[in-house]
Amino acid sequence: MKDYLRRHIWILSELYQNPKGLTYREFAERWEQSTQNMQGTSLPKRTFADCLRAIEETFDIDISSDARNGYRYRIVQRDWLENDTVKDWLLSAFAVNGLLQDSRGLRERVMYENIPSGNDYLLEVLKAMRENHVLAVTYQDYFDEEPRYILLEPYGVRVFRQRWYVVGVMENKPKGKEPTELTNQGRIRRYALDRVVKLEQTDATFKMPRDFSVDDYFADAFGIIVEPEEYDVETIRLKVYDINHRREYLRSLPLHHSQRETEQTADYSIFELRLAPTYDFIQAILAMGNEVEVLTPEYVRQEIKWRITEMHQRYE
């Protein structure tokens, strides 16, 4: 099984790294030289074709080879693929893994951002999402003394600041009772997987809303907090000073997809964002210190000012 998976990952890595494609002979020759081919096996054309079909089905991509391209196997519609951020991220992650496996000298030279917890439950959540199964979750929030037992319809997942979150609709349930079909449909909530004590897939199913999109759900959010009843979506104007090249950092990695630079001088730039100024956004602004100043709205500016005053008092 390990060799089977290793071969699939290797082929996927080669496809991703070679946009113009490779011939079957090139694949076969490279496989014989690959350090991932620990058994020193060949790559028969029938086996190769089976691998391609499995990769297409698993990642929902098309792989083509025709005479006009010199019978070179490649991922088609790559431009479209790169616009699908989830699929492109998965493919690139597998490709990087394949490259690292094939180049052992790189392993000590590449460092990933670690997600310390939550990964144990991620696959189970994804399986439940695929089949629209309700999850039975024992959840220990930081704000609760005792764990809660809930039933959850998993609509989507998101990673933010080294934590995985599952997004869905829940129903409180007394601890110890058997999971049943959900009857009280509530608003959508977010749950951090690192705070899950226990998670199991139930036999109960749910109907996924046709109009739900995790991208749309977080469209007006800075991070993971979505509380429309508490926070209005605002046009945030930031004055970003030319200190430590902060403007360049924000240009290359925007705070939010709505960010745009509306004014530029020798000493500062004005950036505008359209989002809800939630707690996580306030924390991000504070983290940039004296390099950024909130201009409007006034209540957000005063919130920042109040927190700076509180911080100053800590050090008096």
3-class DSSP state of 163: strand
- Which pLDDT score, from 0 to 100, does residue 184 have? 42
Q: What is the pLDDT of residues 151-205, one digit of tens each?
A: 999 999 988 888 889 999 987 555 555 444 444 446 889 999 989 999 999 999 9
Write down the pLDDT at residue 148: 86
Locate tokens 């499995």: which residue? Answer: 54
Q: How many other C-beta atoms lie within 10 A of the C-beta of residue 204?
A: 17
Lowest mean pLDDT among 79-88, 209-218, 281-290: 79-88
Lowest mean pLDDT among 80-84, 107-111, 261-265: 80-84
Taken as a whole, the chain contains a residue count of 316
Amino acid residing at 118: G
The Cα-based distances of 17 to 22, 31, 74, 259, 302 in angstroms read 10, 15, 10, 31, 50
Q: Cα(225)–Cα(241) distance, rounded to whole angstroms?
A: 27
Q: How many angstroms separate the CA atoms of 249 and 73, rounded?
A: 38
Bridge partner list, 272: 237, 260
pTM, entire model: 0.71
* pLDDT tens-digit map of 133-158: 999 999 988 888 888 888 999 999 98
Residue 28 to residues 20, 51, 110, 200, 229: CA-CA distances in angstroms?
A: 17, 13, 28, 42, 59
- The CA-based dihedral angle spanning residues 267, 269, 270, 271, taken in that order and rounded to the nearest 10 degrees: -150
The predicted pLDDT at position 181 comes to 40
8 A C-beta contact, residue 24 and residue 71: yes
Long-range pairs, 51-54, Cβ under 8 A, ≥24:
51/7, 51/8, 51/11, 52/11, 54/8
Query: Token pair for residue 49?
Result: 């074709």
Tell me, what amino acid is at 154? Answer: P
Residue 271's SS3 state is: strand
Rounded to whole angstroms, the Cα distance separating 66 from 48 reads 16
State how far the Cα of 54 lies from the Cα of 225, in Å rounded to an integer. 38
> DSSP of 186-211, one letter per residue?
--EEEEEGGGEEEEEEEEEE-PPPTT
